[in-house]
Structure 1
Amino acid sequence: MVEQIFKLTGGNDKVVEKIILDENLHYMHVIIKQSDGFPEHYTNAVVYMTVVRGIVSLQLDDQDYYAYPAGTVLKIPVNTKMNLNNFNPETLELILIKAPPPDVLPE
């Protein structure tokens, strides 16, 4: 086999899984229930975020929270302050891609 195969976890329970971590990119799959999220942090790479289902509520740098529905793809610059939450009753599912990955960013 030439290709590599990776599987994503399904369901509605909280999941933060690192699917691919290599020299080209970091590919992560996230499922978050209502009233959950990530602690405030600064992005350590350019983040490409795809909202697969639900609505993500994001506060970036000093902006207000904005809500992005399923089907939205966001590009978030490196070193951006981020608050990510699910304020909605529907389960939130995201794909996060960091490219280039943090360990190969130029200084």
Structure 2
Amino acid sequence: MIEQNFKLKFGNEKIVEKVIQDENLHYLHMIFNKGEGLPEHYSNSVVYMTVLRGQLSIRLDDHEAHQYEAATVLKIPFKTKMNVNNLDDETLELIVVKAPAPVK
């Protein structure tokens, strides 16, 4: 078998799962309930963020927060200050791709 396969977890509980982390990219799956999110941080690569369900509330650098609904894809530049949250009642589910893979 040439291909590799990876499984995502289903559910509504908070999760930040590192599905793929290799030399090409990092592929993460995240689920957040109301009031949950990520600590404020700087992007360590170009970040592609896909909203699968719910509504993403995100503040980048010193700009106002914006909300994005399901079926939205964001491209966030390298070294951007990020504040990612779920402020809504509906569960937020995201796929985050970092490409190229961050170098430590």
Same fold by TM-score greater than 0.5: yes
1:59 partner amino acid: R
Question: In 2, Cα distance between the equivalents of 1:85 and 1:51?
Answer: 12
Give 3-state SS (helix, strand or coil) of 1:34's partner.
coil
Q: May I ask how many residue pairs the two structures share in their alignment?
A: 104
1:101 partner amino acid: A
Partner residue, 1:96: 96
1:86 and 2:89 correspond: no
For residues 68-102 of structure 1, give each alpha carbon's deviation from its aligned partner in whole angstroms, at most 9, with x where no partner exists: 00000000000000100000000000000000011
Q: In the TM superposition, what is the alpha-carbon distance from 1:103 to its structure 2 partner? A: 1.1
1:58 and 2:58 correspond: yes
Q: In the TM superposition, what is the alpha-carbon distance from 1:58 to its structure 2 partner? A: 0.4
Partner residue, 2:8: 8
Question: In 2, Cα distance between the equivalents of 1:102 and 1:6?
Answer: 20
Partner residue, 1:25: 25
TM-score in terms of structure 2 length: 0.98
Over 4 Å off, 4+ runs: none
TM-score in terms of structure 1 length: 0.95
Q: In the TM superposition, what is the alpha-carbon distance from 1:43 to its structure 2 partner? A: 0.5
1:68 partner amino acid: Y
For residues 44-71 of structure 1, give each alpha carbon's deviation from its aligned partner in whole angstroms, at most 9, with x where no partner exists: 1000000000000000011111000000
Give me the identity figure in percent.
61
2:45 partner amino acid: A
Task: Note the residue ranges of structure 1 that are not aligned, 5 or more in a row.
Answer: none
Question: In 2, Cα distance between the equivalents of 1:7 and 1:25?
Answer: 17
For residues 3-44 of structure 1, give each alpha carbon's deviation from its aligned partner in whole angstroms, at most 9, with x where no partner exists: 111000000000100000001100000000111111111111
